[in-house]
Amino acid sequence: MSNKIERIAIKTTNLVKKFGNVIAVNNLNLKIPYGCTYGLLGPNGAGKTTTVRILNSIISPTAGTAKVGGFDVITQSTDVKLNCGFLPESPGLYQKLTAKEFLKFIGELYYLPKEVISARIEELLDIFDLEGRENDLLEGYSRGMKQKICLCAALIQDPQIIFLDEPTSNLDPAAARMVKDLILDLVNKADKTIFICTHLLDAAEELCDVIGIIDKGVLKLEGSPKDIIKSQNASDLEDAYLKIMGAVHIEDLLAWREEVPNSVNPRKNSKKRKKARG
Ligand SMILES: Nc1ncnc2c1ncn2[C@@H]1O[C@H](COP(=O)(O)OP(=O)(O)O)[C@@H](O)[C@H]1O
Ligand SMILES: [Mg+2]
């Protein structure tokens, strides 16, 4: 048995967030060690963005506590913000700034020295393949390019803990692949702790050590993708997810077709036709 003490990067205790009558986060308990890639998975409106906004001290919880990097999200919000990178779901960009001006501004918010800011901007623009566009106004950037700039902003102070809310949602397949590779690099080479909110199952399965499945603010299940698949006796994460969410499979939706006469059942007819041909 290992006697290594696991250091915890993100911890929530009975976290609750209510918006009027809506309970967006319902008694959430998370314990995420440093170096872990954690995926919070769930349908639209499940409470993922609300959770990540609380963890970045953007909004306060209604009840419960949360610590990120050892700092309390309510009483030590400045420390939380200084120690975390955050890619919001709908980031605000200053459209009349160039990419370089915007990233310089973000770097200054983190009190980074000028030389560090310049070096980091060059490095990030190179990684994201945006060199040559750094002096263009952000208003002229495509959605995917804006997403890349927001990722640069989340990474500029080289944070130990990084929160990414739907990081690949606006990206074309090549850019999404690039972001996934970057996330893998951040974990494998730089030993970062990454918290990803997503509803994209393939990204979660590929990137995450641990997945938490949340629905209507409640954490329904937590474990490695492998364990979750096994626990549901499922073939892959999508199958497991649908079983957990109690979703109706398309086969069930179409079951009525087995009951109707062959004349109106194209699937049965096509089987018959195949038999006749064979
Ligand atoms: N600022 C807000 N005011 C009122 N309701 C909100 C607010 N933010 C989120 N909600 C509600 O909280 C629930 C969870 O939303 P959200 O955390 O954005 O879900 P997700 O990111 O999983 O799609 C939804 O019912 C949403 O309408
Ligand atoms: Mg969201």
Q: How far is the CA of 244 from the centre of ligand 1 (A)?
A: 21
3-state secondary structure of 254: coil
Number of domains in the chain: 2
User: Is 266 touching ligand 1 by the criterion CB < 6 Å?
Assistant: no
Q: For the segment 106-135, what is each residue's pLDDT rounded down to a tens digit?
A: 999 999 999 999 999 999 999 888 889 999
3-state secondary structure of 41: strand
Q: Is residue 194 located within the same domain as residue 261? A: no
Which of 5-9, 53-57, 108-112, 193-197 shows the lowest mean pLDDT across its residues?
5-9
Closest by Cα among 3, 30, 5 to 15: 30
pLDDT at res. 152: 93
CA distance 48 to 166: 10
User: Is 198 touching ligand 1 by the criterion CB < 6 Å?
Assistant: no
CA distance 59 to 55: 8
User: Is 28 touching ligand 1 by the criterion CB < 6 Å?
Assistant: no
Q: Is residue 228 located within the same domain as residue 277? A: no
Instruction: Tell me the one-letter amino acid at 181.
Output: D
Structure tokens at 180: 């996934």
CA distance 171 to 265: 40
Q: How far is the CA of 166 from the centre of ligand 1 (A)?
A: 14
171 pLDDT higher than 90:
no
Q: Is residue 104 located within the same domain as residue 143? A: yes
CA distance 1 to 195: 28
Q: What is the mean pLDDT of residues 200-222?
A: 94
Q: Which domain covers residue 254, as residue numbers?
A: 248-278
Only one residue has tokens 């409640």, namely 218
Which of 28-32, 71-75, 244-248 shows the lowest mean pLDDT across its residues?
244-248
Q: Is residue 74 located within the same domain as residue 138? A: yes
Q: Is residue 252 located within the same domain as residue 122? A: no
Sheet holding 8-19, edge to edge: 22-33, 8-19, 63-68, 71-72
Closest by Cα among 175, 106, 95 to 136: 95
Q: What is the mean pLDDT of residues 253-275?
A: 53
Nearest ligand 1 atom to alpha carbon 42: 22
Q: Is residue 122 located within the same domain as residue 180? A: yes
Q: What is the mean pLDDT of residues 194-210?
A: 92
**Does the residue 188 lie in any domain?**
yes
20 pLDDT higher than 60:
yes
Only one residue has tokens 């909004």, namely 59
26 pLDDT higher than 70:
yes
pLDDT at res. 87: 94
3-state secondary structure of 276: helix
Q: How far is the CA of 23 from the centre of ligand 1 (A)?
A: 9
